[in-house]
């Protein structure tokens, strides 16, 4: 009877060890997947941030260029108006503009 009890205990210990190994493997897998998801999220966030920043910079440059062009156009218009106010003819204004 003692050997029967010992065999049952041994089998129970083996079964418990097997279950623990399976649980550990499953927990390791869950942990790995959670970490991979976290890393992927962080990388995606960083990539999206960089792309957004790049697009923002490009948009800012375009806006600056448009504003510069408008300001330049306004300066030319103001200059032409000044020349007109001075009483210059169209030909004289053309000469002034082509010299600059």
Q: Where are the domains of the chain?
A: 2-70
- What pLDDT is stored for residue 23 in this prediction? 92
Q: pTM score, two decimals?
A: 0.43
Q: Among 31, 37, 84, 53, which Cα is nearest to 97's?
A: 84
Position with higher pLDDT, 25 vs 48: 25
Tens-place pLDDT, residues 65-82: 888 888 888 888 888 888
């Amino acid at each position: 009877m003692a050997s029967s009890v010992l065999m049952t205990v041994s089998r129970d210990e083996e079964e418990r060890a097997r279950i623990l190994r399976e649980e550990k493997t499953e927990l390791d897998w869950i942990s790995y997947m959670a970490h991979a998801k976290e890393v992927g999220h962080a990388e995606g966030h960083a990539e999206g941030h960089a792309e957004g920043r790049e697009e923002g910079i490009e948009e800012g440059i375009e806006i600056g260029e448009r504003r510069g062009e408008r300001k330049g156009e306004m300066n030319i218009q103001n200059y032409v108006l000044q020349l007109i106010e001075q009483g210059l003819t169209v030909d004289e204004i053309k000469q002034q503009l082509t010299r600059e």
